[in-house]
Amino acid sequence: MLTTIQIVLLIFIIFAISRVYLRAKEKVFSTKTAIFWYFVWLAGLIGVLLPKTTTKLAGFFGVGRGVDVIVYVALALLFYLVFRVYVMIEDIRHEITYLIRDIALKNSSKAKQRPKKSK
C-alpha cells in the first residue's frame, strides 16, 4: 500500500519523465542529456517505490538514513547543475557580445576629415 507522499512523488516523477520525453522528441536537448534525466528520474522512482533501497544505499555510504543520502546526493547534483548553467549563461553572454561587436565594427563612423586648406 503506497503512502500519500509516495503517490504525490510518483505523480510528479511520471510528469517529469513525460516532460523529458517530449523535450527529447522536440530535440530541445541531446539524447545524452535525455538519458541523463531519465536516469535521474528513474533513480527517484526506485527510491519512492522501494524506500528500503535507499536505506541499503545509506548503509553502503556509512550514512544514518536513506533520506539523508538522497539529500546529500541531490545537493551535490544541484550545485553542479547550477555551475553548469552559470557556465552556459556566460557562454551565451560571450556570443551576444561577439554579435554586438561585429555589428558595431561594421557600422563604425569615422571622424570628419578636416578640410584641406586651399593654396
Site residues (vs another protein, CB under 8 A): 83, 86-87, 90, 93-94, 96-97, 100-101, 103-105, 107-112
Residue 2's CB is within 10 A of a number of other CB atoms, namely 11
* Cα–Cα dist 29/23, whole Å: 7
Least distance in Å: CB of 110 to another protein?
Answer: 5
Least distance in Å: CB of 87 to another protein?
Answer: 5
Q: Which long-range CB contacts under 8 A does 64-72 form with residues at least 24 apart?
A: none
Nearer to another protein (CB atom), residue 109 or residue 118? 109
Q: If you ran DSSP here, which 8-state letter would residue 64 be given?
A: S
Least distance in Å: CB of 23 to another protein?
Answer: 25
Nearer to another protein (CB atom), residue 12 or residue 98? 98
Residue type, 40: V
